[in-house]
Amino acid sequence: MKKNMLMLAVLGCSLAFAAEPAKPAAKPAATPTTTPTTTPTTNPAAKPAVAPAAKPAMKSITLEELTATLPKVLAKINGKEVTKKQFINDFMRPQLPDGKLPEMPVDQVDAQLKQFRTVGAPMLVKGYVDQLLLEQAAAKAGYKPSKDMAEKLFKAQFAKLPAQQREMLKMQLQIQGKTEDGYIKEQVAKPEIQKMAALQQYMEKEIASKVVVKPEEVRAYYHLNLKRFTRPADPKDAVRASHILIQVKQGAVEADWKKAEEKAKSIIAELQKKPQTFADVAKRESACPSKEQGGSLGTFRKGEMVPEFEKAAMALKPGAMTKKPVRTSYGYHVIRRDKLAGEQVVPFDEVKPMLENAVKGEKTQEAIAALIGSLEKQAKAEFMLKPAVPAAPAAPAAPAKAPAKTKTK
């Protein structure tokens, strides 16, 4: 079950192109003229030969306008009415605090209102009703909304964030004058967040945790999606290289540079005896994050690396390594130019964890869909809005009969 914000994307899809600004009129083809004998002076006050296209009038649809044609009762569950007012206040308004959608050209408003009425609204109402049924099932199973549950969930999710992403989030909060703890407390105080947390806990513990992924299912998914796990060949104009960086920090004295150079020279001497150990030495000695990939920088084109590094790497033949350390503003580099890679299928074991998550995700969605179907049936759910069924394409016209042949004597 997707979160409310994702459900609203259904509405966004039906109105997406309406939010885009009108494209400018195509520039007319230039009219050929006789070349003037003198250069004309430009008059800043003169109007352009072709006036720019007028900007279309724009309008922002309010929630009231958007839902004006919807019936007062949108659905029934367990004989209880789900009203339009309830749907707007509980489901749509929290996601559109100002009560308005993005602006769109006035001449597209009617078409978009109709699109919402026939396509967007039925899907959103069903999503809302299904959410209500899941919330009831979660509460029955003991997962009731609370500030404590929401806070635990938020903190657990923050803890799972990669360090770099978490630092970035902290910086964004600081700009807003907030702290991580303050932000969490602000969010978990909202009833809709508490509901979402309870629902998420219910689905994770009662549904996702019970999904079993078999090895043969993972292997089958891999083969069915083999194109997704195929790396394209390197561009012919690219250079593939690996390096080992002996870093010299900014402000370092000449003695530090000399020490780093001697270290790089000793690494080159070591690798000349055992070139096959380059990746291991990179992991052990390099100060660059690329050490986790055995020093591999992947591919780059001309102009993408600092000049000293680029010149040295491009001067090497594939498979060769620099005989002397290469100095850049980062320190000293030991560079090896690698052969360009052809198209490669990523080995199964390399993507196995990702495959397992993908298969589990699909099976979890199937389990949730089955649960929703069961809950709708138990609640005798009725939906007053029916999605528009696209008209069947017209049958192709029968080919014209060939003219009858005229008999000749």
Region of 319 (left: φ > 0; alpha: ψ -120 to 50; beta: rest) is left
Instruction: Outline where 108-207 has alpha helix (H).
Output: 109-115, 121-140, 147-160, 163-175, 180-188, 191-206
pTM reported for the whole predicted model: 0.61
Structure tokens at 212: 């079993």
- Which residues in 208-308 belong to E strands, given as ranges? 230-231, 239-247, 296-300
Contact 322, 246 (CB under 8 A): no
User: Alpha carbon 190 to chain centroid distance?
Assistant: 27
Give the separation between CA 336 and CA 296, rounded to whole angstroms.
Answer: 9
Q: Domains of the chain by range and CATH?
A: 147-206 (no CATH), 233-342 (3.10.50.40)
pLDDT of 359: 97
**Placement of tokens 């993507």 in the chain:** 351
Give the separation between CA 26 and CA 339, rounded to whole angstroms.
Answer: 47
pLDDT of 192: 86
How confident is the chain (409 residues) per 10-residue block, as mean pLDDT? 34 31 34 34 40 75 91 95 94 85 88 91 95 94 93 90 86 90 92 91 94 96 94 94 96 96 97 96 96 95 95 96 97 97 93 95 96 96 81 47 39
Residues in the chain, total: 409
